Structure 1
């Protein structure tokens, strides 16, 4: 099962030279296969016989990804509010990312705590933004657990790995199976 999302559905595709919003399911599959690196000769048959694509337009789902700035969304409990709050994806809370269930839950918790005077904070968001371990783990996952720089000549690769040995960076790269 694959979910394909097109942010700019009015733009022509790279393989199918027409807007995604005008494409059939088979044409969307062709475009997706092209972007996955499937050999171009195999794309028509795979799209026609190897997959079933049901196009669905969800025009408001894009609102999550539109450019925005602070103040675009209302505060959860606006200044002066005593008996109402804004909950969910389109209210403003700090250090969180929309499009998650947790975001909605945190906004509800924050509103209840503020409106009822409960002196308690909502659960912290995992601080992955600047955690190099999260980035290294993502890199490992994206490479299906394969080491980095396997394309380098062995002599250069050994030199670089040797330079990292005994360092914290080297230890982390071993831990995340990158070297």
Structure 2
């Protein structure tokens, strides 16, 4: 009897320890979350939004350990323009010159490594796929309750987005568009 009580106690402790460190995936509330982009050119900048199609953050014991997102590239649009100018830029961004959304309607981000860097702060390494091309990215994310914010810089030329890039074209002068653009995510889960 004594031996079986010890065995049962050991089993309960192991089962509880295993249960308590299991990962918990929390879905992103896409209708309450926002992904903002900002691109820069010699003569200024443009900014806009892209809809998050789906996503989740994975936690173990309230610590971020992973995440994955799908972005609906067909929704990319400028928020700093109106009328015909907005329509022209939105159409150009969706064209093959930029993101080719007809052939590549989604982009993905999958966390590959997460490291705590302070209270509620993490350094993340991930794989970002745009236009069917996957490259590693590094960024920081902060978690507060059921909210998260992240910001990253993306080198568009690594994803075959070459339009207006001085890395590929000479004599662009004031028509040049910088290779890096910013993404800022405000997430609710």
TM range (shorter): under 0.3
Larger Rg: 1
**Which structure is richer in relative contact order (CA contacts within 8 A, separation 6 or more)?**
2
What is the TM-score with the length of structure 2 in the denominator?
A: 0.19
Q: Which structure shows the higher helix fraction?
A: 1
